[in-house]
Amino acid sequence: MKVIGDLHIHSRFARATSKDLNIFNLEKWARIKGVNLLGTGDFTHPEWNAELKRDLQEDETGILKTKTGFPFVLQTEVSLMYSQDGKGRRIHLVLLAPSFEIVDQIIDYFGKKGRLDYDGRPIFGLNAIEVTESLKSISDEIEIIPAHIWTPWFGLLGSKSGFNSFEQAFQDQVKHIYALETGLSSDPPMNWRLSSLDRFSILSFSDLHSFWPWRIGRESTLFDLEKLNYKSILNAIRIQKGLVGTIEVKPDYGKYHFDGHRFCKFSCSPTESKKRNNKCPVCGKSLTIGVLNRVEELADRQENYIKKDAKEYHELLPLHELISLVLNSSIATKKVWEIYNPLISKFGNEFEILMNTPFEELEKATNEKIAKIIIRNRLGKMKVKPGFDGEYGQAMLEEQKTLF
């Protein structure tokens, strides 16, 4: 069974999220995107947890389903902010769980450590070692995945985390960590450059804060499972049985790929940062060091290194980005939807369009320019002005003569 899974999402109870994020909209837009397995997001939040129990049906497989049969996996994200070895640390972890019974025990544990009702992604002054050990004492079936590991502010290996390895963060509990999440600003080849990451499965998820198709599933993980159940997902993550690969955006598209200062509207490559002593030429303060720079700092392999047993990956910008680029329009305008919706009606879902539909069929359904840019995107040839310091990268339109 081929599965496209987005197992790191949020509800409307997390900060800076759409007020319309609910199970109905998540299912609707996942189907339009072509995602056929979602995380629930935010299961520690009391109001969202009650909605999950109301709107999703649980059975012995560990997979929850809506009334129409769409599958979800119990999932949340927690933020750990603490001191270790005299340094302040900030790490986000994605948690997966096999049942509401286990979730209730997780809630009981975290509820004794802090509040759960003020944010779908709660914050605790606990270290990753203690949290991992405590959760594993509840159930070995709880999966703990370091989230967007390169993000400066809350990624385990980010420039602000203070950690240079998983072993530093988890110490003896690293034996319970099987996977990492790439985040938007890195892709598998960037992670291959660290031999210390070879033992971890590479996963990608959207970390969505709204359900729109340029958010949901923008990064996903590809599985090929004999049966869709929680155990098979664990096996894919832990021993890579059934783990096919990932769908990524181009890492330049991510919010933290380059170094820079958002408020000074300045960004630069790691090479340029080094020349400037990591100082902003506008305000003179230290730059926010991005993912590309941080990978270069920690890498023990050359750029373009290819891991021998690497899984497949696809770098795809969302279809709305492509259409809006051709139309020279904002991403959610009526004229973009007027092209997007007929394509979905004809070909079924966005991933089918982005990954599989032949050029000739695309051209008949739209026009040559849009068909060409979809194929260029499929081939990984899109040019993107890199994102930095919380600003998304910007796709750029090039001459269409040599698109493919």
Q: Break the chain into its structural domains and give their ranges.
A: 2-253, 318-381
| 46 three-class SS | helix
pLDDT digits (tens, 9 = 90+) for 278-333: 999 999 999 999 999 999 999 999 999 999 999 999 999 999 999 999 999 999 99
The residue among 211, 214, 216, 217 whose CA lies nearest residue 246 is 217
Q: How far apart are CA 143 and CA 163, in angstroms?
A: 21
pLDDT score recorded for residue 400: 45
Q: Domain 2-253: give its CATH code.
A: 3.20.20.140
- Its sign, for the CA torsion 349, 354, 355, 359, is positive
pLDDT digits (tens, 9 = 90+) for 80-91: 999 999 999 999
Scanning the structure block, which residue is given the tokens 């966005």?
A: 350
Residue range 172-185: average pLDDT?
Answer: 98
CB of 43 within 8 A of CB of 9? no
Which of left, alpha, beta for 50 (phi over 0: left; psi -120 to 50: alpha)? alpha
Instruction: Determine how β-strand 259-261 pairs with β-strand 383-385.
Output: unpaired
Does 399 have pLDDT greater than 60?
Answer: no
Residue type for 159, please? S
The residue among 235, 178, 185, 174 whose CA lies nearest residue 202 is 178
Does 403 have pLDDT greater than 90?
Answer: no
The residue among 158, 153, 166 whose CA lies nearest residue 81 is 153
Scanning the structure block, which residue is given the tokens 């972890």?
A: 93
pLDDT score recorded for residue 398: 75
Name the percent of the chain lying above pLDDT 70.
99
pTM: 0.97
Q: How far apart are CA 281 and CA 286, in angstroms?
A: 10
Does 401 have pLDDT greater than 50?
Answer: no
Report the chain's C-alpha Rg in angstroms.
Answer: 21
Q: Using 50, 70 and 90 to split pLDDT, how confident is the model at 404?
A: very low
pLDDT digits (tens, 9 = 90+) for 230-278: 999 999 999 999 999 999 999 999 999 999 999 999 999 999 999 999 9
Q: Using 50, 70 and 90 to split pLDDT, how confident is the model at 363?
A: very high
How high does pLDDT run on average in the chain? Answer: 97
